[in-house]
Amino acid sequence: IVGGRLVHKNDDYLSAVSIIYRPHLKKDLIKLACGATIIHKYWSLTASHCLKPIPNRLIMSKHIFLRGNTTYWDGSSKHYQDHFIADYSLHEDYLGPQNQFDNDIALLKVKEPFTGVYEKPVCIASRSYTYIENTSAVVFGWGFTDPHKQDSNSKALKAADIRITNFSTCLKIHESINKMVSARMVCAWGHKTDSCTGDSGGPMIQNDTLIGIVSWGMECASDHWPGIYTRISEFPEWILRKIKSLSKTT
Ligand code: 4AZ
């Protein structure tokens, strides 16, 4: 998160978890991969583009896990809880950067349930949720705090207060550079604050409801480019169908 604020104890952020990558199991080094959101005791949502490049055997191994129950992804507070991945599902119609990250959503099932005091699921936006332009929302993450500085991740969870951008304005802005903004996306921007690299997969929340997933954007916290989020209200049936079918197998 560029700009914004550190998160204090409140219910708002309890659904945010980090996805952590451990390149060598014999070494302590860990890296922040993405964010994710708890939506159920065993399930979380993230962006498909967070997992797509990673081979299946790595996702299902101890190299990758979710860390919850803490505001610090790096382990500098002791009460964190790690969750290994039992199963996952990328959206079938996610076609990657070539298709401008359309359908950028994925489900992750964890082996250890989210039962920590600071781990709480959030409701997902229904089909009928209305995204009203200029209303405020909050995006959470541990990603870059400086868009021009590699590895400027935040150890503590941050939040950015953003507003939903008029959809046709967002379309037009991106048409000028031939970037497609689809009906499965929602745009939002803040004043000198934004989501950025490393925040991908994390929650955008309004009215205690998950309405977006951090997906992409041309820059971070620029006056010209809003951030683009996966529009959750397009996916409740997909989410329920996947949870039902994967619950049968694991
Ligand atoms: C990224 O690189 C990224 N400002 C995520 C979100 C935004 C820009 C870039 C939105 O993952």
CB proximity list for 144: less than 8 A, separation 6 or greater = 2, 152, 153, 196, 197, 198, 199, 220
Q: ipTM of this predicted complex?
A: 0.95
| Catalytic residue status for 233 | no
- Between CA 225 and CA 201 the distance in angstroms is 19
Per-residue pLDDT of the chain (250 residues; tens, 9 = 90+): 999 999 976 667 899 999 999 999 999 999 999 999 999 999 999 999 999 989 999 999 999 999 999 999 999 988 999 999 999 999 999 988 877 899 999 999 999 999 999 999 999 999 999 999 999 999 999 999 999 999 999 999 999 999 999 999 999 999 999 999 999 999 999 999 999 999 999 999 999 999 999 999 999 999 999 999 999 999 999 999 999 988 876 6
- Strands (E) in 134-208, as ranges, are 136-141, 158-164, 185-189, 203-206
- Site to probe by mutation for ligand 1, drawn from 100, 140, 179, 196 as the one with most ligand atoms within 8 Å of Cβ, is 196
- Site to probe by mutation for ligand 1, drawn from 19, 48, 191, 220 as the one with most ligand atoms within 8 Å of Cβ, is 220
CB proximity list for 17: less than 8 A, separation 6 or greater = 35, 36, 37, 38, 44, 66, 67, 68, 83, 114, 119
Query: Does residue 234 sit in helix, strand or coil?
Result: helix
| 8 A C-beta contact, residue 115 and residue 41 | yes
Closest residue by CA, ligand 1 atom 8: 217
Closest residue by CA, ligand 1 atom 2: 197
Asked if residue 37 has its Cβ within 6 Å of ligand 1, the reply is no
**Which of 213, 158, 187, 186 minimizes the C-alpha distance to 45?**
213
What is the DSSP code (8-state) at residue 153? B
Asked if residue 141 has its Cβ within 6 Å of ligand 1, the reply is no
